[in-house]
């Protein structure tokens, strides 16, 4: 077994793809955007997973299942983003510390909040991610990369649907609110 380690591609670099023929300068911009989307997806993935583990109350089952579906959607989208970044010559951002540093959203922390607060935090994160991804869809279009544009639009559809569901859960009549017994 060899003990010599060879770096095949250094993080932060772009390797031109002869087959895809996307100019290196364009690929750099797109990979930068994709790595931001990838980092955001994993920060929110971990937050949703935390909420999935800790949800309680009258709507436990529905929320538990919804949160699982939502974090699975994020993970599937993140995989598509990472594979596209790699295909156009980039190195997908990996590792929790690197992803948290690169992300434009902030993980809410380790504390457990009531489900309404948790979902409000999730909804705000979704909104920020959706805004950024819309900009990245336009960037890909402007740089002549319809494949990345298509991939991001597909992921954006799932993000918007999950965000919309959270918005519905937060309506006044969807979650049981604590009432004082005076």
Q: Residue 88 is encoded by which pair of tokens?
A: 């156009």
Residue ranges in the chain modelled with pLDDT below 50: 174
With contact defined as beta carbons under 8 Å apart, do 126 and 168 qualify? no
Specify the pTM: 0.89
Walk me through the domains of the chain, giving residue ranges and CATH numbers: 24-103+112-128+145-169 (1.20.1260.10)
Under 8 Å between Cβ of 151 and 82 = no
In this predicted structure, what is the pLDDT of residue 174?
47
What pLDDT is stored for residue 61 in this prediction?
A: 95
CA distance 169 to 149: 30
Span 98-141, pLDDT tens digits: 999 999 999 999 999 999 999 999 999 999 999 999 999 999 99
- 173 burial via Cβ count (<10 Å: 0-12, 13-18, 19+): exposed
């Amino acid at each position: 077994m060899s003990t010599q380690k060879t770096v095949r591609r250094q993080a932060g670099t772009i390797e031109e793809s002869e087959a895809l023929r996307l100019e290196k300068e364009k690929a750099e911009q797109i990979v930068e955007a994709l790595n931001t989307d990838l980092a955001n997806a994993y920060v929110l993935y971990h937050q949703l997973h935390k909420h999935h583990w800790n949800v309680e109350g009258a709507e436990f089952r529905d929320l538990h299942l919804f949160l699982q579906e939502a974090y699975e959607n994020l993970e599937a989208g993140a995989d598509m983003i990472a594979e596209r970044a790699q295909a156009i010559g980039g190195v997908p951002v990996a590792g929790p510390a690197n992803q948290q540093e690169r992300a434009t959203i902030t993980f809410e922390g380790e504390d457990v909040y009531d489900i309404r607060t948790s979902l409000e935090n999730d909804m705000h994160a979704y909104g920020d991610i959706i805004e950024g991804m819309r900009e990245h869809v336009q960037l890909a279009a402007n740089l002549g990369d319809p494949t990345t544009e298509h991939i991001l639009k597909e992921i954006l559809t799932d993000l918007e649907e999950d965000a919309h569901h959270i918005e519905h859960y937060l309506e006044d009549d969807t979650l049981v609110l604590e009432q004082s017994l005076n």
